[in-house]
Amino acid sequence: MEFIANTLSSTNLSYYTIPVAFFLCMAPNAYAMKLAGKNYDIAHPRRTEEFCAKDTSLDKATVNKISRAKAASANGFETISLYAASIVAANAAKMPITKLNKLAVGYCVSRAVYNYVYVGLQDNRKLAGLRPFVWFAGIWIVMTLFVGAGNALNTLA
């Protein structure tokens, strides 16, 4: 634990989390491709869900999981540019490293949890409410990075 605490306070990890976030955007899509099997057509990848829905050998739960995995991937790509911009802003403003690192790692954790909740837990309708909560946690981190960047710049002025 001491090593982690020292690393978070002495090494700027934030830029490294952008490729991690990108991987977390790609992972659900790769999982959907695996589940789709022969229904994944490299020439028409956006039609995977359509092809899976027509395949009578796939059960409805699997087709739904493929659809949710594709949606989780799309959601990640919809937010990654905002996240990357917040990392650049926080670094440019010289936000304190420890806070920056904790928020950057927190964002990646929130995306990993989001993927798991969306793809793995949404068959249970009682757990459906977790997804927007986890999504909001990630967006809250992004906004905290932007506000922290603004605060850091204001203290320099």
Tell me how far apart the 2 most distant CA atoms of the chain are, in Å.
65
What DSSP letter does each residue of 77-130 carry, written as one string?
HHHHHHHHHHHHHHHHTT--HHHHHHHHHHHHHHHHHHHIIIIIITTSGGGTTH
Q: What is the pLDDT of residue 44?
A: 82
pLDDT at 144: 98
Which domains, ranges and CATH numbers included, belong to the chain? 2-156 (1.20.120.550)
Question: What's the confidence (pLDDT) of residue 8?
Answer: 65
The mean pLDDT values, 10 residues at a time, for the chain of 157 residues are 65 96 97 91 82 86 94 97 98 96 98 96 86 96 97 84
How does 109-139 read in b/e, with b if 16+ C-beta sit within 10 Å? ebbbbbbebbbeebeeeeeeebbeebbebbe
The helix/strand/coil state of 59 is: coil
What pLDDT score does 5 carry?
A: 61
Q: How far is CA 22 from the centre of its chain?
A: 8
pTM confidence score? 0.90
Q: Three-state DSSP class for 19?
A: helix
